[in-house]
């Protein structure tokens, strides 16, 4: 595919696996990540030069997002695919003990940041009459995980944002869908207690965690030409946990 794809949080985990998959399909990749060193390393691993670039970005900071959009257009010539994947879980603590600043930061990164990135990138996609946006939510956004109120609220918000934007853009050629994975073993689990991770595993009927490759495969479909009559949809990779 002769496309340019932005992947937020693409330096590690699910985002990096998506980068590998889209790169194999021929897309040029812009990795927007807070961790500049890991983003550079990831871009090199995907071929570097014009094939993959690293753009240091804090998705929760509007000025940073605007700068990254400008740099990406300058260096890669435009944007056709956006995978909004950057996320943090925040700690696993009861709501009544949750630090109020931390709660706000989890919302800012997972939800407000996704709005910022869409706000900057959608206007770049519309003139071409073709685009694919994938927003990474979570089963937490459908079911709510106990002791993860900020994360669950943010991820439910991602589903609402996806449905709203998809309807706005339905006749534009830009499709907007979202992914709701159950637990995948990546660095993001580090903030959570072992009990919370075990709770999440125990809720999966297949009895195992998902893999980054399984999630990347689903995202790759949503980014493809073949995905043509789905928008505002929620695609599940939860091993049977969320069958709705
Ligand atoms: N791993 C799971 O179990 C799981 C389950 C459901 C949903 N998800 C979602 O999948 C997405 C990817 O998670 P992952 O498991 O690959 O995590 P990860 O920690 O391996 O990767 C997340 C990446 O996002 C980057 N990032 C964090 N804050 C950022 C910011 N403010 N701006 C830009 N980049 C930032 C990190 O540097 C990191 O490279 C997240 O949205 C997460 O909520 C993960």
Per-residue pLDDT at 80? 98
* Nearest protein CA to atom 41 of ligand 1, as residue: 87
Domain membership of residue 243 (yes or no) is no
Question: What backbone torsions phi and psi does residue 240 show, to the nearest 5 degrees?
Answer: 95, 0
Task: Quote the ligand 1 centre to 171 CA distance (angstroms).
Answer: 31
Per-residue pLDDT at 175? 98
Coil, strand or helix: which one is 225? Answer: coil
Task: Quote the ligand 1 centre to 133 CA distance (angstroms).
Answer: 17
Domain membership of residue 155 (yes or no) is yes
Per-residue pLDDT at 1? 82
Domain membership of residue 242 (yes or no) is no
Domain membership of residue 103 (yes or no) is yes
Count CB atoms within 10 A of the CB of residue 29: 27
Domain membership of residue 244 (yes or no) is no
Domain membership of residue 117 (yes or no) is yes
Name the CA dihedral angle for 169, 171, 173, 177, rounded to a multiple of 10 degrees: 50
Q: Which of 13, 92, 192, 203 to mutate to test the pocket of ligand 1 (most atoms within 8 A of CB)?
A: 13
Per-residue pLDDT of the chain (244 residues; tens, 9 = 90+): 899 999 999 999 999 999 999 999 999 999 999 999 999 999 999 999 989 999 999 999 999 999 999 999 999 999 999 999 999 999 999 999 999 999 999 999 999 999 999 999 999 999 999 999 999 999 999 999 999 999 999 999 999 999 999 999 999 999 999 999 999 999 999 989 999 999 999 999 999 999 999 999 999 999 999 999 999 999 999 999 999 9
* Nearest protein CA to atom 43 of ligand 1, as residue: 87
Positions marked active-site: 151
* Nearest protein CA to atom 24 of ligand 1, as residue: 9
Q: What is the CATH number of the domain that holds 50?
A: 3.40.50.720
Per-residue pLDDT at 85? 98
Atom of ligand 1 nearest to the CA of 86: 24
Give how many domains the chain has, as a whole number.
1
Task: Quote the ligand 1 centre to 31 CA distance (angstroms).
Answer: 13
Residue 159's domain spans which residues? Answer: 4-237
89-98 contacts at long range (C-beta below 8 A, 24 or more positions apart): 89/148, 89/151, 89/188, 89/189, 89/191, 89/192, 90/148, 90/150, 90/151, 90/191, 91/191, 91/192, 92/147, 92/148, 92/191, 92/192, 92/193, 92/195, 92/196, 93/147, 94/147, 95/149, 98/149, 98/150
Atom of ligand 1 nearest to the CA of 188: 19
């Amino acid at each position: 595919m002769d496309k340019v794809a932005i992947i937020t949080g693409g330096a590690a985990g699910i985002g990096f696996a998506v980068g590998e998959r889209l790169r194999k399909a021929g897309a040029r990749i812009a990795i927007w990540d807070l961790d500049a060193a890991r983003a550079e390393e990831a871009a090199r691993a995907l071929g570097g030069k014009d094939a993959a670039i690293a753009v240091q970005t804090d998705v929760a900071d509007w000025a940073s997002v605007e700068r990254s959009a400008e740099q990406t257009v300058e260096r890669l010539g435009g944007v056709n695919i956006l995978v909004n994947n950057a996320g943090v879980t925040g700690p696993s603590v009861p709501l009544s003990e949750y630090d109020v600043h931390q709660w706000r930061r989890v919302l800012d990164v997972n939800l407000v940041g996704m709005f910022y990135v869409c706000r900057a990138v959608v206007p770049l996609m519309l003139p071409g009459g073709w685009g694919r946006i994938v927003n990474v939510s979570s089963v937490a956004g459908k079911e709510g995980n106990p002791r993860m109120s900020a994360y669950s609220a943010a991820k439910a918000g991602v589903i609402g944002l996806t449905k709203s934007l998809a309807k706005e853009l339905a006749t534009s050629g830009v499709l907007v869908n979202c992914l709701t994975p159950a637990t995948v073993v990546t660095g993001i689990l580090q903030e959570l207690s072992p009990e919370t991770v075990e709770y999440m595993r125990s809720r999966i009927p297949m009895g195992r965690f998902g893999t980054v490759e399984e999630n990347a495969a689903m995202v790759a479909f949503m980014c493809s030409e073949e995905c043509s009559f789905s928008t505002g949809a929620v695609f599940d990779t939860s091993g049977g946990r969320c069958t709705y």
